[in-house]
């Protein structure tokens, strides 16, 4: 026994080792392990990111060179840290921290020490760089904006993070990727495809030529330029008008569904998210909890649409044959739901469809809404029919635009109310607020603009989209060139359009007429509630306006939604009319109106619920 102890240990150890070695060398072996073989160096050839032009071919986004200071930690020789820090423009603790991080990442591989030097810093540094071994400068390309507008539409790019690296094998640490907007949506088209060269290194770490004769190498594929549907001039002008106002503006070309303008107020200068100040600026924007500039209100802000929604109820009623355009309802300066009176500002009296629309009579539309439901045996049935008609205008669900963000809005169906109130515990009077666009319906400015485009087209719309073409022509998804027909017959649109045209001539927006242009529009003044410390509080009304022009041959359909802008024509209506004039005429004739809209801000309204002081709603301050 004692003589055999050591011998058996030797044999057991020998078998264990050979077992482990056969696992490693026979089982786990695969001949092409180049991915992490340190002897095979990969060199990337980055194509330039594609430019972005507006619909008229004006450049919006280009590229500019930037310079990263790179470090290979193990090649660093002792250096004058103080001088170097001064040249780089960083302080010493930061420098030491970054060096440590680079070393942790890899002593052998290059890491970015200081990203995105300005041209001036680069010029200063370049001459002295050779004194600092182990450091070098790498050129790369950053975005360059020829406009200070469209930040949310264009989106921004930033370095890939851990998640991207884990989920997309294309990216390598340090590369850039589109994060929002067009940059994200068309990332693969804009970025192209980087080329890869595999270089075989010999035992002395010298390059000895392509690995396997370049069999695995690829050439870079150029990023393509994009033309987007945005009208740069209109967009810039709109953003100036939105100065100091929260809300969204979307304008669409009804004949194509192309988005002419998409504004979220407040916005920011896209250049803020480029260069060395990027992360500082980003935090500032990200943590601005009042303005939320990174939140795209034009596409993600869903609210009750207010009175513009009445036009759809008129169309549904006509389609279902429950009213004629001449059908009249009496307005008692309001209407009754059971014994409860709901107000109306139209002035009272008998209302037909025409004056019902242009005076925005609540009683008229409550009556219309009741008639729609009255046609059916049960409220459920009526609800289904109504919902189907309304949804055919692109409301209540994602529109399917080529933008990576957005919200579906809400058109409540019977399931919604069953959940809300319980089965059978609601009736048409419960949902009467929907007749005037209050209550449970909600839509984004984009959806309102699209709905208006459908009315402008008298019955169909193209899915709104942002891409005009890849390169100069083509590349657009066929789903954006197919019309979507609403469930309303074409003949029913004329009376409604006439009412909308009269909004400008005699109605709620007669103050904002544009000489020589016939506009059809609809104002909306949306009651606005919020919760402050758990208590329901009413705030100043939201101001809404939808319009299209010219009436006969619509070239632009738009929706303007201004938070706390009071009644519809006041802010939204004015801004809409200025935008229409700008787009159709190219210049503004009503200079004083323009001046007022550019200068007025609603900051005091937005401060109200936050300041903790008592406030009045809907106060009239011009």
How near is the Cβ of 31 to another protein at its closest, in Å? 7
Q: Based on CB atoms, which residue is closest to another protein, 73 or 394?
A: 73
Q: Based on CB atoms, which residue is closest to another protein, 23 or 398?
A: 23
User: What tokens were used for 584?
Assistant: 């159709």
b/e map 212-240, b = 16+ CB within 10 Å: eeeeebeeeeebbbbbbbbbbbbbbbbbe
Q: Based on CB atoms, which residue is closest to another protein, 31 or 338?
A: 31
User: Rounded CA gap, 417 and 422, in Å?
Assistant: 7
Q: Based on CB atoms, which residue is closest to another protein, 38 or 169?
A: 38
286 to each of 275, 292, 618, how far by Cα in Å? Answer: 17, 7, 30
Angle at 543 between CA 537 and CA 547, to 5 degrees: 150
User: Rounded CA gap, 271 and 551, in Å?
Assistant: 39
CB of 158 closer than 8 Å to CB of 183: no
Q: Based on CB atoms, which residue is closest to another protein, 3 or 587?
A: 3
Name the 3-class secondary structure at 563.
Answer: coil
Q: Based on CB atoms, which residue is closest to another protein, 20 or 490?
A: 20
How near is the Cβ of 172 to another protein at its closest, in Å? 18
How near is the Cβ of 16 to another protein at its closest, in Å? 7
The H or E element containing residue 490 is none
| DSSP calls for 121-178 | HHHHHHHHGGGSTTEEEEEEEEEEES-S--HHHH--EEE--HHHHHH-TT--TT-EEE
Q: Based on CB atoms, which residue is closest to another protein, 42 or 255?
A: 42
How near is the Cβ of 216 to another protein at its closest, in Å? 16
Q: Based on CB atoms, which residue is closest to another protein, 97 or 491?
A: 97
Nearest alpha carbon to residue 245 among 568, 509, 542: 542
Q: Based on CB atoms, which residue is closest to another protein, 6 or 621?
A: 6
Check residue 478 and report its DSSP letter.
Answer: G
How near is the Cβ of 195 to another protein at its closest, in Å? 23
How near is the Cβ of 18 to another protein at its closest, in Å? 6
DSSP E strands: which ranges in 338-394? 340-343, 349-351
CB of 430 closer than 8 Å to CB of 421: yes
Q: Based on CB atoms, which residue is closest to another protein, 18 or 43?
A: 18
Rg of the chain over Cα atoms, rounded to whole angstroms, equals 32
Name the 3-class secondary structure at 9.
Answer: helix
Q: Which residues are CB-contacts of 511 (< 8 A; sequence separation ≥ 6)?
A: 569, 573
How near is the Cβ of 12 to another protein at its closest, in Å? 10
User: What tokens were used for 49?
Assistant: 């990111």
β-bridge pairing 535-549 and 556-562: antiparallel
User: Rounded CA gap, 416 and 101, in Å?
Assistant: 53
Q: Based on CB atoms, which residue is closest to another protein, 59 or 76?
A: 76
How near is the Cβ of 208 to another protein at its closest, in Å? 11
133 to each of 248, 385, 509, how far by Cα in Å? Answer: 53, 75, 71
Check residue 573 and report its DSSP letter.
Answer: I
CB of 557 closer than 8 Å to CB of 548: yes
Q: Based on CB atoms, which residue is closest to another protein, 104 or 277?
A: 104
How near is the Cβ of 97 to another protein at its closest, in Å? 15
Judged by the rule CB under 8 A, the positions of this chain that interact with another protein are 1-3, 5-7, 9-11, 13-14, 16-18, 20-22, 24-26, 28-29, 31, 33, 36-40, 74, 104, 106, 108, 201, 203-205
How near is the Cβ of 10 to another protein at its closest, in Å? 5
How near is the Cβ of 73 to another protein at its closest, in Å? 12
User: Rounded CA gap, 488 and 454, in Å?
Assistant: 10
How near is the Cβ of 207 to another protein at its closest, in Å? 13
Distance linking the first and last C-alpha atoms of the chain: 106
DSSP bridge partners of 342? 335
How near is the Cβ of 467 to another protein at its closest, in Å? 42
Q: Based on CB atoms, which residue is closest to another protein, 9 or 532?
A: 9
User: Rounded CA gap, 248 and 267, in Å?
Assistant: 10
Q: Which residue has the tokens 């450049």?
A: 59
Residue 382 burial (CB count, 10 A): 21
β-bridge pairing 467-470 and 226-228: antiparallel
Q: Based on CB atoms, which residue is closest to another protein, 26 or 621?
A: 26
How near is the Cβ of 211 to another protein at its closest, in Å? 10
Q: Which residues are CB-contacts of 611 (< 8 A; sequence separation ≥ 6)?
A: none
């Amino acid at each position: 026994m004692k003589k055999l102890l050591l011998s058996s240990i030797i044999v057991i150890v020998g078998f264990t080792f050979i077992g482990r070695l056969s696992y490693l060398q026979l089982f786990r072996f695969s001949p092409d392990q180049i991915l992490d073989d340190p002897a095979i160096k990969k060199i990337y050839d980055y194509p330039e990111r594609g430019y972005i032009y507006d619909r008229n071919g004006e450049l919006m986004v280009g590229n500019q060179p930037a310079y990263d200071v790179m470090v290979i930690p193990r090649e660093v020789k002792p250096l004058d840290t103080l001088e170097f820090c001064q040249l780089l423009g960083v302080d010493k603790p930061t420098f030491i921290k970054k060096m440590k991080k680079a070393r942790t990442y890899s002593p052998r591989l290059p890491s970015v020490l200081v990203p995105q030097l300005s041209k001036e810093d680069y010029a200063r540094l370049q001459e002295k760089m050779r004194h600092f071994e182990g450091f070098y400068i790498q050129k790369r390309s950053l975005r360059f904006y020829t406009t200070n507008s469209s930040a949310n539409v264009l989106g921004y790019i930033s370095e890939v993070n851990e998640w991207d690296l884990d989920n997309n094998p294309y990216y390598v640490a340090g590369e850039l990727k589109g994060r929002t907007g067009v940059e994200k949506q068309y990332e693969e088209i804009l970025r192209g495809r980087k080329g890869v060269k595999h270089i075989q290194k010999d035992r002395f770490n010298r390059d000895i030529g392509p690995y396997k004769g370049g069999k695995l190498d690829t050439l870079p594929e150029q990023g393509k330029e994009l033309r987007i549907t945005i009208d740069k001039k209109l967009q810039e002008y709109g953003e100036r008008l939105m100065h100091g106002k929260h809300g969204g503006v979307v304008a669409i070309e009804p004949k194509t569904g192309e988005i002419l303008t998409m504004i979220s107020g407040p916005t920011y200068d896209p250049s803020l998210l480029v260069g060395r100040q990027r992360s500082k600026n980003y935090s500032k924007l990200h943590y601005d909890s009042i303005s939320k500039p990174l939140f795209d209100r034009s596409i993600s802000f869903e609210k009750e649409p207010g009175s513009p929604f009445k036009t759809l109820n008129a169309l549904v009623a006509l389609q279902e044959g429950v009213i004629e355009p001449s059908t009249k309802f009496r307005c008692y300066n309001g209407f009754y739901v059971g014994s409860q009176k709901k107000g109306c500002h139209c002035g009272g009296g008998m209302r037909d469809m025409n004056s019902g629309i242009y005076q925005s009579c609540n009683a008229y539309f409550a009556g219309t809404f009741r008639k729609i439901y009255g046609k059916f045996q049960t409220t459920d049935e009526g609800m289904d029919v109504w919902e189907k008609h309304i949804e055919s205008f692109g409301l209540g669900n994602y529109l399917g635009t080529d933008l990576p963000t957005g919200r579906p809005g809400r058109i409540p169906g019977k399931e919604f109310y069953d959940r809300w109130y319980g089965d059978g515990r609601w009736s048409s009077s419960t949902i009467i607020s929907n007749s005037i666009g209050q209550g449970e319906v909600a839509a984004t400015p984009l959806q309102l603009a699209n709905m208006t485009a459908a009315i402008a087209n008298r019955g169909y719309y193209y899915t709104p989209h942002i891409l005009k073409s890849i390169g100069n022509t083509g590349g657009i998804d066929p789903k954006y060139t197919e019309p979507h027909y609403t469930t309303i017959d074409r003949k029913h649109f004329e009376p409604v359009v006439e009412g909308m045209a009269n909004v400008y001539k005699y109605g709620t927006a007669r103050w904002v007429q544009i000489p020589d242009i016939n506009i059809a529009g609809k104002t909306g003044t949306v009651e606005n509630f919020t919760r402050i410390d758990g208590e329901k509080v009413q705030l100043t009304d939201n101001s809404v306006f939808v319009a299209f022009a010219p009436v006969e041959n619509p070239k632009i359909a738009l929706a303007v939604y201004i938070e706390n802008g009071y009644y519809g024509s006041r802010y939204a209506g004015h801004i809409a009319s200025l935008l229409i004039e700008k787009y159709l005429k190219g210049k503004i004739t009503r200079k004083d109106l323009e001046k007022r809209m550019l200068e007025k801000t609603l900051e005091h309204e937005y401060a109200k619920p936050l300041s903790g002081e008592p406030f009045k709603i809907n106060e009239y301050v011009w």
